[in-house]
Amino acid sequence: MAFSSDEIIKREIVDTLGNSVGDLRLRIFTQSSNEDQKLFEDGGLTFSFQGADYGSCDACWYINDSKSGKPNPVIVLEGTDALNRKSSGNAQYQRFHHALGAVRNGLIGVYYLKKGVDKIQEDLYGMAYFATQKENGIYLIIDDLSILKDILLLYPKTEELRQYINNYVNQMYQIFQRKFVEKYNNDWNKFAEERSIIIKSDHVIKHAGRMRRNFTDSSQRAGHIAVGEMYLPKYYFYDKKLYYLFPKMDLEDLEYLDANKTDDKEWYLLRHEPNVEIKTMDHIQGLPQQIRRHLLKIKDEPLKGTILSLYHECTAIIVNGLRNDSMRII
């Protein structure tokens, strides 16, 4: 019987790193379980920050407080076998937020993508690098558990550990930067154009063809991907406000999802991420009525064939309008 991605990663963690390293103890649920969905302080592997619960993780190394015996988390890992499962594009981003709660709490967060037939998207290294600059903790993208083993063995040798991590964070930046120069000629405007992003003086707009059903049909996992794609512009332009624009949705769709997805972690993150606002066609001031009619006509239709062509025609006009300020987000 084939193992799931989670089972493969968890078995590898235990086989490679063991159940403890020095004073660090491992919390992991190797069998199928919902225990990881509990908050860490309740015995699980989920981390919360400012009222938002992030995705459950696969493993955490902690130390027991010498006085209270309370477990204090140190390093948190989210892993995936996605590189062996035809995940070569933006789907790699969908688990980025799982370790982010730990990073925002000042911990070391690790997103481990087991080596496979595909490679890690260089953008992921950039996301982790800029998150490390912005947040309280450190975010690392790895494809080799020996890197994590080195960190575990160095803990708590403060200066050596700091130097090792700093070197690796710089390596992540170099991987991102080389690709950025090669693919985008070191030009943020070229990058933005290819990644459906519009750069303005005090904000950026990321547009995507999401529709209501993407967030209500569990088989589509669009919530995970939408969250992952949000964090790319969020961290690449972390000094600007982010408007996450869904032109195929209207205000009614947004209100419906707010009312019916109250227990959904991904939707909560999308709606409560600091300095990020979800926008729809109804938030585009100056949107031509004909374009709005087209978008309303296709808003519940999958993006393929003639529907995709019409959507691209509409968004081309919207993007041009937002760039030349004949339209703006309100």
* pLDDT tens string 286-305: 999 999 999 999 999 999 99
122 has pLDDT over 70: yes
Residues 131 and 228 in one domain: no
Judge whether 315 and 281 are in contact, CB under 8 Å.
no
The CA-CA-CA angle for residues 123, 126, 129, to 5°, reads 155
Identify the pLDDT of residue 1.
45
Domain that holds residue 194: 188-329
pLDDT band at 255 (very low <50, low <70, confident <90, very high): very high
Dihedral, 24, 46, 37, 227 alpha carbons, nearest 10: -140
What's the pLDDT score for residue 150?
Answer: 96
Torsion of Cα atoms, 316 then 293 then 276 then 329, to 10°: 70
Both tokens assigned to 328: 């703006």
Q: Is there a single domain that holds both residue 144 and residue 235?
A: no
Is 2's pLDDT higher than 60?
no
> Which of left, alpha, beta for 238 (phi over 0: left; psi -120 to 50: alpha)?
alpha
Of 159, 181, 203, the domain-final residue: 181
pLDDT averaged over every residue in the chain: 94
Per-residue pLDDT at 311: 98
Q: Is there a single domain that holds both residue 171 and residue 287?
A: no
Last-in-domain residue among 153, 181, 209: 181
Give the domain-ending residue among 130, 160, 181.
181
Provide the CB-side half-sphere exposure for 95 (13 A, CA): 22
Number of domains, the chain: 2
User: Which amino acid belongs to residue 324?
Assistant: N
DSSP sequence for 234-246? HHHTTTSEEEEEE
Residue type, 212: R
Q: Do 196 and 76 fall into the same domain?
A: no
Question: What integer is the mean pLDDT of 70-80?
Answer: 96
Confidence of residue 90 (pLDDT cuts 50, 70, 90): confident
pTM recorded for the entire structure = 0.93
Q: Residue 87: pLDDT above 90?
A: no
Q: 201-232 pLDDT, tens per residue?
A: 999 999 999 999 999 987 666 788 899 999 99
Pairwise CA distance, residues 293 & 301, whole Å: 14
Q: Any residues with CB less than 8 A from the CB of 16 and at least 6 apart, and which?
A: 145, 149
Q: Is there a contact between 282 and 299 (Cβ–Cβ < 8 Å)?
A: no
> What is the arithmetic mean of pLDDT over 249-272?
94
State the pLDDT at residue 221.
67
Mean of the pLDDT values across residues 163-168?
A: 98
Residues 29 and 76 in one domain: yes
**What is the structure's pLDDT at 91?**
81
Q: What are phi and psi for residue 26, nearest 5 degrees?
A: -100, 130
